[in-house]
Amino acid sequence: MKFNTHLQNLPIYEAGKPIELVTREFGIDPKDVIKLASNENPLGTSKKVISIIKEKASNASLYPDDSFYELKDALANLYEVSSKNIIIGSGSDQIIEFALHAKANEKSAILTAGITFAMYEIYAKHVGAKIYKTKSKEHNLKELKELYLAHKDEISIIFLCLPNNPLGECPDAKEVMDFISIVSEDTLVVTDCAYIEFAKFKDSKKAINPKELISKFKNTLYLGTFSKAYGLGGMRVGYGIANTEIITALHKLRAPFNITTLSLAAALQALNDQKFIEKTLKNNLEEMKVYEKFAKKNGIEFIPSYTNFITFVFDKKQNASQIADNLLKKGIILRNLKSYGLNAIRITIGKKKQNKRVLAELKKEI
């Protein structure tokens, strides 16, 4: 059977491995598996959120309020924008997909950093758009500017991953704003802020403010998610903030009821438990230092991270894929970055006890 030509060279996205796989393949008890591969919250989900999910379980037969009125209202309050400036997605991933369908096609291109979140490229390929990436792996705004100016008429969307997954770096908000000021009003600039809570906690200069962003630049789309700091990866809720013209266009692509009744309740409650977020951020910052110390002591290269993960880059003597495979057999799931063309492993910062075991096992492999 012939499929759309766009799909021919499109690899299937390799997601972080699930606990179930390790249990199935190596017979390890799920309790003993350490999963630090998908940047989920190691503290789990807030107790308040778990109790609301249980409380609302009997509503599973009902579709959610498709306007997502309450959730948008709560986000509008948090970010001091209007509900009309917000769209809810099944993860912020879905909003990335909407953006591509709204704005890119076979005749246009997207621009990204050299190594960044794989979904920008994958969704761009769905619509046949071309992809420009900088030579620099990390976000180099000077290079992004040069590449943008060289292909200005072609580029319809610029994706900035702030901070960047899977490398962890984050340019200052001021630099980002300066960059956006040179971009044409008809080019959409997406700032994917999936890890911004962690960045802001470490260094306030990194924090993009969505209100300021969208009031200064009518061509920007800010993305946030409940999957990382908020501990709701399994509930699939993300959001986009932009001016109403962009939000209206994205809404045309949204299927009704695109998040579930229970996801909606969970996200709303998650916003009410800021204590849980604080605990999450503190654990992350403290434990990040443990990984940095380990890397320095063992001569492993790493990029200072503004996220909830750290990426260890190995030299030629070591094989990151082999290391990741060996750890997997011991029930430790980390993210091998081979598919990004790197001899590197991305490790989500876990709880103290988990990190201790991960580093002890890693030590044996290097």
Ligand X SMILES: *Cc1c(COP(=O)(O)O)cnc(C)c1O
* Interface ranges with ligand X (CB under 6 A): 39, 91-93, 117, 161, 165, 192, 194, 225, 227-228, 233, 238
CB of 152 to ligand X, least distance (A): 25
Between 28 and 303, name the residue whose CB sits nearer to ligand X.
303
As measured in angstroms, the least distance from the Cβ of 190 to ligand X is 10
**Which residue lies nearer to ligand X by CB, 137 or 228?**
228
Least gap, CB of 228 to ligand X (angstroms): 6
Nearest approach, Cβ of 224 to ligand X (angstroms)? 8
What is each CA distance from 171 to 177, 207, 306, 330, in whole angstroms? Answer: 10, 10, 10, 36
The DSSP annotation for 198-224 comes to HHHHH-GGG---HHHHHHH-TTEEEEE
Angle between helices 47-56 and 274-297 (to 10 degrees): 130
Q: How many CA atoms lie within 13 A of 258 on its CB side?
A: 21
Q: Which is nearer to ligand X, 223 or 327 (CB)?
A: 223
Q: Which is nearer to ligand X, 92 or 156 (CB)?
A: 92
Residue (187 or 263) nearer to ligand X, CB: 263
Eight-state DSSP code of residue 188: E
Residue with tokens 């000077």: 142
Q: How far is the CB of 126 from ligand X (least distance, A)?
A: 16
Least gap, CB of 29 to ligand X (angstroms):
27
If 0-12 CB within 10 Å is exposed, 13-18 middle and 19+ buried, where does residue 294 land? buried
Q: How far is the CB of 53 from ligand X (least distance, A)?
A: 17
Q: Would you list the DSSP string of 78-142?
A: HHT--GGGEEEESSHHHHHHHHHHHH--TT-EEEE-SS--HHHHHHHHHTT-EEEE-SSSS--HH
Cβ-closest position to ligand X? 91
Sheet arrangement for strand 188-192: 86-89, 238-242, 220-225, 188-192, 155-161, 109-112, 130-133
Nearest distance from C-beta of residue 343 to ligand X, angstroms: 21
Nearer to ligand X among residue 192 and residue 197 (C-beta): 192
Tokens of 129: 């758009």
**Nearer Cβ to ligand X, position 114 or 331?**
114
For ligand X, the closer of residues 294 and 312 by Cβ is 312
Nearest distance, CB of residue 95 and ligand X, angstroms: 8
Distances (CA, A) of 180 to 93, 166, 214, 219, 272: 22, 22, 11, 9, 33
CA separation for the pair 366, 362 (Å, rounded) = 7
Q: Quick one: residue 216, left, alpha or beta (phi over 0 = left, psi -120 to 50 = alpha)?
A: alpha
DSSP assignment letter at 347:
E
Please say which residue, 91 or 210, places its beta carbon nearer to ligand X.
91
